């Protein structure tokens, strides 16, 4: 089945909001067996919207439009669709009764303008909206599915998951299953060398996606059922893990700080951080994990040159300009003793825009896992450089931590 997504709203074209709906729908439609060939963004203009509908209906089996279902004058998605289909708009009495009851329950005044939300093209059905007042619209006939969904993401997703995804998956007869493996400490080129034969496959496919200081490997397979798709994906995922080893730290939405925390917990090790250039970013990420107090003893932000000797007891003669491999190692050693932790990690560097060499940084690990320092040359703006250094510190920690084979 061929799919097309129409994102309706002048605010999208002006860049005032980010179009997260198109990304979400493309991913979920693929899982339902619908191939999205076009994404079109159009403003709240009836003529341009009419042209977008006309083109989409000629080249797609499934057309999903988001936005323009509200009660105001510029919400035209239903009106224009009815015109393109050559049918009138009619009132859905059941939806009108439901909407009146919703307003009454909220103690809000129901005005005539609200009735617009319960109109539909003749022959279509309205899809219940559990998160808002504007129902979705479904036109399903002669092999053509057209769905209109609200613009707010939480409303759009709720209607899609409850009403559209099951219908489309059943209609397509295909299931797409994807497994995402998260990889650090190795670049895309090196991954390509190790997995070239796997990446050449057509079903399942293996594709790398660059993220901030890591790579996501997506393994996807199409089959007639989830079980059959899993039978294709599972062995490839195991082979990827075998070839990449510890570089694969997690799967799905798991983040590096989650994996480090889990490994620390299993190893019964405690951790402390001493941060300069990252200003507490490493500790902030570690404390996102519920129960992190089991392994995180504490964190010191020693940003100025004076604070490194004062808080950590480092010899002032070894501080220099605050950025060196020796200083990072001294900081990791010192915070381990200062906070009575098993392991210490430290960061120092130049985040810019001024400094000896913007992007130059050092991360270090010391304590029960041994000692290791890594030099970095991070790129990007100031915040991106700091994020990359924090990620590098966690990567170094991950590489040193014991893990199950």
Give the rounded distance of the alpha carbon of 356 from its chain centre: 35
Alpha-carbon distance values, 213 to 7, 191, 233, 377, 384 (Å): 31, 14, 25, 12, 10
**Residues 238 and 263 both lie in one domain:** no
**Residues 244 and 347 both lie in one domain:** no
Tokens of 250: 């997690």
Question: Could you tell me if residue 405 is inside a domain?
Answer: no
pLDDT tens digits for 125-178? 999 999 988 999 999 998 899 999 999 999 999 999 999 999 998 898 888 889
Question: Element (H or E) spanning 10, and its range?
Answer: helix 10-13
- Give me the CATH number covering residue 219: 3.30.70.2860
**Cβ contact 182:249 at 8 Å:** yes
Alpha carbon distance 91, 42 (integer Å): 26
Domain end (from 141, 172, 203): 172
What is the pLDDT at residue 109? 85
Scanning 164-209, the segments in alpha helix (DSSP H) are: 165-172, 188-199
Return the SS3 of 208.
Answer: strand
pTM, entire model: 0.77
**Residues 66 and 193 both lie in one domain:** no
Burial of 53 (0-12, 13-18, 19+ CB in 10 A): buried
What is the pLDDT at residue 108? 87
Domain end (from 172, 207, 227): 172
Note if the bond before 71 is cis, omega within 30 degrees: no
pLDDT tens digits for 92-127? 999 999 999 988 988 888 888 888 999 999 999 999
Helices 188-199/226-244 angle, 10° precision: 130
Question: Could you tell me if residue 94 is inside a domain?
Answer: yes
With the CA atoms of 275, 276, 280 and 282 taken in that order, what torsion angle do they form, in degrees rounded to the nearest 10? -50
What is the pLDDT at residue 405? 59
Q: Are strands 89-91 and 119-121 parallel, antiparallel or unpaired?
A: antiparallel
What is the pLDDT at residue 143? 87
What is the pLDDT at residue 106? 87
What is the pLDDT at residue 112? 82
Domain residues for 320? 256-400
**Residues 104 and 185 both lie in one domain:** no
**Residues 108 and 229 both lie in one domain:** no
pLDDT tens digits for 173-192? 888 889 999 999 999 999 99
**Residues 209 and 336 both lie in one domain:** no
**Residues 269 and 236 both lie in one domain:** no
What is the pLDDT at residue 238? 97
Alpha carbon distance 278, 272 (integer Å): 14
Q: Residues with Cβ < 8 Å from 108, sequence gap 6 or more?
A: none
Residues of the chain short of pLDDT 50, as ranges, are: none
Output the CA torsion sign for 144, 150, 151, 152: negative
**Residues 329 and 287 both lie in one domain:** yes
**Residues 165 and 194 both lie in one domain:** no
Question: Could you tell me if residue 393 is inside a domain?
Answer: yes
**Residues 118 and 228 both lie in one domain:** no
Alpha carbon distance 206, 198 (integer Å): 6
Rg (CA), the chain: 27
Domain count, the chain: 3
Alpha carbon distance 41, 369 (integer Å): 52
């Amino acid at each position: 089945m061929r799919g097309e997504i129409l994102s309706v709203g002048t605010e999208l074209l002006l860049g005032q909001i980010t179009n997260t709906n198109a990304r979400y729908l493309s991913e979920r439609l693929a899982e339902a067996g619908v191939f999205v060939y076009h994404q079109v963004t159009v403003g709240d203009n009836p003529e341009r919207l009419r042209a977008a509908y006309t083109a989409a209906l000629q080249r797609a089996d499934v057309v999903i439009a988001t936005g323009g279902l509200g009660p105001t004058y510029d919400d035209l998605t239903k009106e224009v669709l009815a015109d393109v289909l050559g049918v009138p708009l009619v009132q859905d009495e059941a939806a009108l009764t439901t909407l009146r009851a919703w307003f009454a329950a909220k103690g809000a005044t129901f005005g005539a303008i609200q009735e617009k939300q319960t109109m539909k093209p003749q022959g279509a059905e309205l899809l219940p909206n559990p998160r808002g007042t504007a129902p979705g619209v479904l036109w399903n006939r002669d092999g053509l599915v057209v769905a209109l969904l609200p613009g707010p993401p939480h409303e759009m997703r709720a209607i899609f998951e409850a009403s559209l995804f099951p219908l489309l998956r059943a209609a397509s007869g295909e299931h797409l299953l994807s497994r995402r493996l998260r990889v650090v400490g190795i670049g895309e080129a090196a991954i390509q060398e190790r997995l070239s034969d796997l990446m050449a496959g057509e079903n399942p496919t293996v594709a790398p996606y660059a993220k901030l200081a890591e790579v996501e490997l997506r393994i996807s397979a199409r089959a007639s059922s989830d079980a059959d798709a899993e039978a294709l994906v599972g062995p490839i995922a195991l082979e990827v893990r075998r070839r990449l080893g510890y570089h694969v730290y997690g799967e799905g939405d798991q983040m590096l700080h989650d994996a480090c925390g889990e490994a620390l917990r299993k190893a019964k090790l405690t951790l402390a951080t001493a941060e300069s250039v990252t200003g507490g970013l490493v500790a902030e990420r570690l404390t996102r994990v519920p129960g992190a107090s089991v392994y995180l003893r504490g964190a010191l932000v020693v940003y100025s040159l004076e604070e490194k000797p004062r808080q950590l007891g480092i010899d002032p003669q070894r501080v220099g300009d605050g950025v060196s491999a020796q200083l990072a190692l001294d900081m990791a050693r010192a915070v381990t003793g200062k906070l009575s932790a098993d392991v210490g990690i430290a960061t120092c560097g130049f985040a810019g825009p001024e400094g000896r060499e913007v992007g130059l940084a050092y991360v270090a690990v010391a304590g029960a896992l041994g000692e290791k320092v890594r030099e970095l040359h991070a790129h990007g703006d100031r915040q991106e450089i700091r994020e990359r250094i924090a990620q590098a510190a966690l990567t170094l920690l991950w590489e040193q931590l014991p893990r199950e084979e």
